[in-house]
Amino acid sequence: MSATLAKPDRTRYLYVAVIAAVGLGILTGLVFPSFAVELKPLGQAFVGLIKMMIQPVIFCTIVLGVGSVRSAARVGKVGGLALGYFLTMSTAALGIGLVVGNLLHPGSGLDLSEKVASAGAAQAAGAHSSTSEFLLGIVPDSMLSALTSGDVLQTLLIALLVAFAVQAMGRSGAPVLTAVGHAQRLVFRVLSMIMWAAPVGAFGAMAGVVGETGVDALKSLAVLMIGFYVTCALFVFLVLGTILKLATGVNLFALLRYLGREFLLIVSTSSSESALPRLIAKMEHAGVDKATVGVVVPTGYSFNLDGTAIYLTMASLFIATAMGNPLSLGEQFSLLVFMMIASKGAAGVTGAGMATLAGGLSSHRPDLVDGVGLIVGIDRFMSEARAVTNFAGNAVATVLVGHWTGGLDRGRLDSVLAGAEPFDETTMLDDDHEPAPEPVLV
């Protein structure tokens, strides 16, 4: 699009407002803590608005991406490679968390009060109790309920079934894809409207958490929190950055800069799910084909939980040390393998990491469940690092899988990362001003 026809990017003011709202929220929480706690529903409401759009976005993206590809083998190749990569990286994240946790030995000298113990028990009540319960939960009550249940894995299952059905219909399935294409355009338009409430949501979320925790609650847990942030940073910049550079030649910092607004949104809401629809749109804009984006991004949000894996390892070791019952090496591996399975489908939801931690301890080491209450005060801040790491891992995974399967337009990616092809912030769709194209089965 020529410079004369390009619309001014008004959304830059939106994200300046988000930054200002975060700062104002922190200040309000410190100066007026009681009032700030009452503002917490503002942040919860905004995250709720975003979450209500997640399942329609995933459904439309997968049906369009997978349904328009004639060969099911192509989709299977993308999905299989993605799952293999996710498993490898989750294992690496678990290992890094174990090493750092065993080196730092955080948790020494903390006291477990009755109030803290009850907080830990409350967290365990909402977690999966077994692997079979998790697996059965993937199957929805009906096809329509998969779009309203709030469970990303249920939506993923139904969307894949519908996409493969459309794929099997051949050219007679083209009208279905056209209809879904129009639905996706509508969904992204609604989402772009919701985004203008981001400053209000960011202000309420930050004010609420700072008002609840204050500064004193963070000092005694600084070793765990700082250690976790440093570990996540090392994983993103050293592990993911090195893999991305060696495999594709893409600079990690350029990719992260392109996704800068999404990271700001995640930090302000403490939920990587709040940026999921934008990640899908931005990866397609950057030259990754719809089939790859449609499979890798939604699947990654359930199976590629690098930040959550690091959190589970370090938090488990912290609790065990604080309670005077350190985990043996064998107990560490068995517990964390269970947690890695049980956490699937919980990515991006604020507080889900703590519920998974409590549920895993309840199943394997019930004597440690009460200790979960020790980290309630800082979980919100650790949740931000979890969400940012998970998001970065999924962005890198999308580029890598696209490169490995031939679904990446490298020239387009380089142009976008260089700033030559700006992303349409207004609608999150590049072709918003043109009629919906007829799908072409390839």
Q: How far apart are CA 350 and CA 442, in angstroms?
A: 40
Q: How far apart are CA 392 and CA 408, in angstroms?
A: 18
Statement: residue 432 has pLDDT above 80? no
- pLDDT value at position 398? 94
Q: Is residue 381 part of a domain?
A: yes
Q: How far apart are CA 364 and CA 360, in angstroms?
A: 6
By CB neighbour count within 10 A (0-12 exposed, 13-18 middle, 19+ buried), where does 91 fall?
Answer: middle
Q: Is residue 373 part of a domain?
A: yes
Q: How far apart are CA 322 and CA 123, in angstroms?
A: 18
User: The domain containing residue 370 runs over which residues?
Assistant: 71-147+217-417
DSSP designation for 140: -
| Average pLDDT of span 251-261 | 92
Yes or no: say if 222 and 213 are a contact pair by the CB < 8 Å rule.
Answer: no
The residues pairing with 408 across neighbouring beta strands, listed in sequence order, are 288
Lowest mean pLDDT among 37-41, 63-67, 92-96, 244-248: 63-67
Number of domains in the chain: 1
Amino acid at 247: A
Residue pLDDT, tens place only, 178-223:
898 888 888 888 877 888 888 888 888 778 767 776 665 455 566 7
More confident residue, 238 or 91: 238
The SS3 of residue 288 is: strand
Q: Is residue 20 part of a domain?
A: no
Q: pTM of the full predicted structure? A: 0.72
| Average pLDDT of span 113-123 | 48
Q: CA Rg, the chain, in Å?
A: 22
Average pLDDT, the chain: 76
Yes or no: say if 185 and 429 are a contact pair by the CB < 8 Å rule.
Answer: yes
Residue pLDDT, tens place only, 259-318:
988 888 888 776 777 788 889 889 999 999 888 888 888 888 777 878 888 888 888 888
More confident residue, 427 or 227: 227
Q: Is residue 321 part of a domain?
A: yes
Q: How far apart are CA 46 and CA 423, in angstroms?
A: 23
Yes or no: say if 67 and 166 are a contact pair by the CB < 8 Å rule.
Answer: yes
More confident residue, 233 or 434: 233
Statement: residue 395 has pLDDT above 90? yes
Q: Is residue 27 part of a domain?
A: no
Q: Is residue 241 part of a domain?
A: yes
- pLDDT value at position 283? 92
| Average pLDDT of span 67-83 | 76
Q: How far apart are CA 14 and CA 21, in angstroms?
A: 10
Q: Is residue 426 part of a domain?
A: no
Question: What share of the chain has pLDDT > 70, as a percent?
Answer: 73
Question: Looking at residue 313, which CATH number applies to its domain?
Answer: 1.10.3860.10
Statement: residue 120 has pLDDT above 60? no
Q: How far apart are CA 31 and CA 26, in angstroms?
A: 9
H helix intervals, 105-173: 114-124, 131-136, 152-169
Q: Is residue 347 part of a domain?
A: yes
Q: How far apart are CA 34 and CA 411, in angstroms?
A: 53
**How far from chain centre, in Å, is Cα 93?**
15
